[in-house]
Chain A
């Protein structure tokens, strides 16, 4: 669960955003992107001393100005559960799961595929080929 995936999963959740200059924004996440740019709805803005407040209907925050975001404690568990459910649903449809989905990696263990390495001929010549290729003008 990468930090930005967590942010994506936090859509419509309440959060507190503190900017580098110390201002904070309390609101519900509407949208975000991979630059950490975000839009919030029903926002309470606080200045860096914490003694002045503004109420905003909606606001946009450029990702590069953010110091940190505080998200609900329950979010991590919710996301994990969601991922599990998605995996179960996928398995029920007969889909493949796991890290090597459709990739070109080694075959999964226990599938019956056996790889036998066969040494075909003398390898003495191979070195010469490599050595020769280095002499070629580029």
Chain B
């Protein structure tokens, strides 16, 4: 049974570490702890994406940045190409590494020259 009768039940969850999970929301509580069924993780690079099957997830609410319903009709219009996960994974890892280096360089300049404080080491990107 879908989570809500007006939608497919398919939801997108984005976590604080940047992971994007697609799945069917089965339950939640006051902390936004989520139960996600038939979960796949999606990674993106350029105009391609890839999926990795995970299954049943229980996500601790603190780590959730975004929870959104996916419109299956509109999803067909998304101009992205699906490729093999193992093919795309190294590119995505590289993207993440580059972003980290950029962010580190940026925060170093801000700290050294502009009088900013250091970010808490948690990678609080949101």
Give the B-binding residues of A (Cβ under 8 A): 1-4, 6-7, 20, 22, 36, 63-64, 66-73, 75-76
B108 within 8 A of A: no
B55 within 8 A of A: yes
In whole angstroms, how far apart are the Cα atoms of A76 and B58 in the complex? 11
Q: Is A70 a contact of B29 with CB atoms below 8 Å?
A: no
Name 13 A/B residue pairs within 8 A (Cβ), A-sorted: A1-B27, A1-B35, A2-B29, A6-B35, A20-B122, A22-B17, A67-B15, A67-B17, A68-B15, A68-B58, A70-B57, A70-B58, A76-B35
Main secondary structure on B side of the interface with A: strand
Partner of B58, one of A3, A22, A64, A73: A3
Tally A-B pairs: CB < 8 A: 61
**In the complex, what residues of B have CB within 8 A of residue A70's CB?**
54-58
Q: Is A76 a contact of B26 with CB atoms below 8 Å?
A: yes
Q: Is B63 a contact of A68 with CB atoms below 8 Å?
A: yes
Q: Is B37 a contact of A76 with CB atoms below 8 Å?
A: yes
